[in-house]
Structure 1
Amino acid sequence: MTASPASDAPASRPLIAGVVTALVGFTSTFAVVLTGLRAVGATADQAASGLLALCVMVGLGCLFVGARYRMPITIAWSTPGVALLAATGAVDGGWPAVVGGFLVSAALILLAGFFPPLGALIARIPPSIAQAMLAGVLLPLCVAPFTGLLSDPWGVAPVLVVWLVAARLLPRWAVPLAFVAATVVIVVGIVQSGARVDATTLVPRVEFVAPTLTLGSVVGIGLPLFVVTMASQNVPGVAVMRSLGYTVPWRPAMIVTGLGSALGATAGAHAINLGAISAAIAAGPDSHPDPRRRWLASISAGGSYLVLAGLSSAFAALVLLAPAGVIPAVAGVALFAAFGSAIQQAIDDPGERMPAVVTFLVAASGVAVAGVSAAFWALLAGLLVRTVLHAGRRRAA
């Protein structure tokens, strides 16, 4: 009797897949996290605290859902959400108000778990408009590598060259390797300048902030963060898992991510959610031929994120020492794929193209009215244009 491919597969395969999931997820987007948190008013210490809290919440979330449901469900932080923060900038009330917005988003995610029609309502937002809003939010971050190339060619060029070569040869590791190139640039700069690193900045620490609520934080941070996290992460995450043969329990998943987001908010964590892109690494056939064994990938991913939590302050300190254009370059290349996907989905349907274009342009403009960010107005503008155009077509018919 010959052994099946599944039985021949090493037991360590899903464990390795989980470690890869965590490493790729962290190194690809932690710079985006720090950029977004600093953009809305966090100090360097508060941004480092937010990164630490995100790693802890993601790690614990992966461990819980993996062990409880025996499925390779992965939890991640909301990369589109933190890109939204980078595009939003400071709001009335400062960092405490931003933290209040994080709590509003967390409460809405929890509500989506207990009240499924809310999640269904988000799913009813036309994908073209949701993706156009995301593309408009991502645009300023995605052009940063090229503006940085002009201002600091010696620092940014190595990042872009390594990213391009790796994108051809090792696509999954393109962004992590770009970060490695950025690290080399930073270390060389430190050596040449003779700067010293304060060892205390390498120690993980939490900076709690008492939240406040303002109109700008609720409507400009909380609501858009909830919408973009649900539409760009949670809903696609469920779809990706379904395509791989797993049915994610919706209510428990929203409760875990909502509670995790709420617990991490006062420490600076913006939001956690179901993994979408990372889900394919942990839950795909490369993890293990036997789908029943792939849940171990969630366990190893969770443990890896807890280890990375201990190193988060060191990564944040490295970012502080970077030349001005280097980290934005890493953050930009990390978002190229997301931007390309968002643009494609936004304009794919000719009948939805004009509302999507309006949504994209308003979001990319960065305009804020009454302290409310452009992302919110972009969503409203796109829905308004779509309603007017479709109503006209119905009358004509």
Structure 2
Amino acid sequence: MTTTASSERATLAQPIFAGILAALVGFASSFAIVLQGLNTVGATPGQAASGLFALCLGIAVVGIGLSLITRMPVAVAWSTPGAALLIATGAIEGGFPAAVGAFLVSAALIVVAGLWRPFGRAVAAIPMPLASAMLAGILFNLCLAPVRAMAEMPLLALPIVLAWAVTLRIARLWAVPVAVVVAGIIIAVATPLPDWALGDIWPAPTFVMPVFTLDAVVGIALPLFIVTMASQNIPGLTVLRSNGYNPAVSPLFVSTGIVSGFAAFFGGHVVNLAAITAALCAGPEAHPDPARRYVASLTTGIAYIFIAIGAGFAAAFVAAAPPILIEAVAGLALLSSLAAALVAAMSEEKTRLPAVVTFVTAASGLSVAGVGAAFWGLVAGGALMALDGFGRSQAQE
């Protein structure tokens, strides 16, 4: 009896632990990327902290709501590739208000994708090799940051990289969080935070009046929408379906899009379905009974409420730290995403060359008429693919 009761208690606690783990890993492995992305497109430290806070609350609201309504382990996250896109894009004309306007447009497109099936199918029809190649191009320069950090600050960067590599061998899931902790210790010891950095670490939501510009819509909103759908929402659905769940797609996209819109007014970029941490909530590790796994995603949502309280401290710490070390941690966190994107981009021989064109253009940093390289990479690869298809059809005739 005692053994049976202990086993039942352990089983009941299993999804709770899985949900807490998903929240901790999801936040610790990518919050620096989010803050760096917001800062790069013009956010002040206070606005970046507000954006991180809004995203955490958005994840909590959608995650809790969808888990309770669907009784499925619908895990929600922010768009890490989207944040990497912001870093690659850099400062834009119109500053952070223009970026916020782009966030709103991207959120609206996600809602439309959920409500209007032809549009959703059109988005899904974007060749995955090109979308993956665009994402790989966005991530490439950021993934070089650990190497640059080793060259510029070897004594500080080496322990971070070694901690990541050793933990990767022992417990892969914790490699990036451990690197974050080591980076935090090194930054605290080697580069003491100035007095102002921790002066006001409590969450302070800051409303940002959006400005809508064509450059920001084309250079940020459209690529942000595409990478979020291709690298977060669609893989997130795949994780659910591979574990035996078949949720209605429309409510998932509409709810994440609407909450993304609200978060945008306070500096957040996109809330979407989780891809990597989704497996922690939807897989058998969360609970033997698939009907009970929703508790894991529900717990993740609740955990993000508490995590949101620390958004101000995280933003202050990142703002006061040497940028190259923060970028190095972000680069380590994105290496697996880069690898997956490159594999997907080069998997089909007939689309390999257009994918390479997309990749090198997106990675080039090219900016034409204020529009960033991610958009032009997709255009270049798509044009070559269309030309190649036209040439093949002409040859067959």
TM-score bracket relative to the smaller structure = over 0.9
Check the 8 A contact 1:29/1:331 in 2, yes or no.
yes
Alpha-carbon distance between aligned partners in 2 of 1:116 and 1:245, rounded to the nearest angstrom: 23
Identity within the alignment, %: 47
Give the corresponding residue for 1:82.
Answer: 83
Count of aligned residue pairs for this structure pair: 395
Alpha-carbon distance between aligned partners in 2 of 1:155 and 1:123, rounded to the nearest angstrom: 43
Alpha-carbon distance between aligned partners in 2 of 1:238 and 1:199, rounded to the nearest angstrom: 40
Any gaps of 5 or more consecutive residues in structure 1? none
Matched, 1:149 2:150: yes
Alpha-carbon distance between aligned partners in 1 of 2:312 and 2:174, rounded to the nearest angstrom: 23
Cα RMSD (Å): 1.8
Give the corresponding residue for 2:372.
Answer: 373
Secondary structure of the structure 1 residue equivalent to 2:144: helix
Check the 8 A contact 2:198/2:316 in 1, yes or no.
no
Secondary structure of the structure 2 residue equivalent to 1:179: helix
Give the corresponding residue for 2:178.
Answer: 177
TM-score of the pair, normalised by structure 1 = 0.96
Secondary structure of the structure 2 residue equivalent to 1:269: coil
Give the corresponding residue for 2:159.
Answer: 158
Give the corresponding residue for 1:344.
Answer: 343
Check the 8 A contact 2:41/2:91 in 1, yes or no.
yes
Alpha-carbon distance between aligned partners in 2 of 1:198 and 1:349, rounded to the nearest angstrom: 49
The answer to which of 197-206 and 364-373 deviates more is: 197-206
Give the corresponding residue for 2:14.
Answer: 13
CA shift for structure 1 position 323 = 2.4
Alpha-carbon distance between aligned partners in 2 of 1:134 and 1:140, rounded to the nearest angstrom: 11
Check the 8 A contact 1:6/1:289 in 2, yes or no.
no
CA shift for structure 1 position 204 = 1.0
Amino acid of the structure 1 residue aligned with 2:387? V
Secondary structure of the structure 1 residue equivalent to 2:138: helix
Alpha-carbon distance between aligned partners in 2 of 1:142 and 1:75, rounded to the nearest angstrom: 24
Give the corresponding residue for 1:133.
Answer: 134
Secondary structure of the structure 2 residue equivalent to 1:273: strand
CA shift for structure 1 position 394 = 2.2
Change over 3 Å in CA distance of 1:114–1:6 after alignment to 2: farther
Alpha-carbon distance between aligned partners in 2 of 1:159 and 1:121, rounded to the nearest angstrom: 43
Alpha-carbon distance between aligned partners in 2 of 1:304 and 1:8, rounded to the nearest angstrom: 21
Secondary structure of the structure 1 residue equivalent to 2:11: coil
CA shift for structure 1 position 147 = 0.6
CA shift for structure 1 position 214 = 0.6
CA shift for structure 1 position 189 = 2.1
CA shift for structure 1 position 348 = 1.2
Give the corresponding residue for 1:382.
Answer: 381
CA shift for structure 1 position 9 = 5.0
CA shift for structure 1 position 141 = 0.5
CA shift for structure 1 position 197 = 5.3
Give the corresponding residue for 1:333.
Answer: 332
Alpha-carbon distance between aligned partners in 2 of 1:72 and 1:158, rounded to the nearest angstrom: 37
Secondary structure of the structure 1 residue equivalent to 2:323: coil
Check the 8 A contact 1:31/1:331 in 2, yes or no.
yes
Alpha-carbon distance between aligned partners in 2 of 1:395 and 1:311, rounded to the nearest angstrom: 60
Give the corresponding residue for 1:364.
Answer: 363
Any gaps of 5 or more consecutive residues in structure 2? none
Alpha-carbon distance between aligned partners in 1 of 2:170 and 2:394, rounded to the nearest angstrom: 53
Counterparts of 1:223-372 in structure 2, within 5 Å, are 223-372=222-371
Query: Cα deviations across residues 8-28 of structure 1 (Å, max 9, x unaligned)?
Result: 852011011000000000000
Change over 3 Å in CA distance of 1:349–1:201 after alignment to 2: same
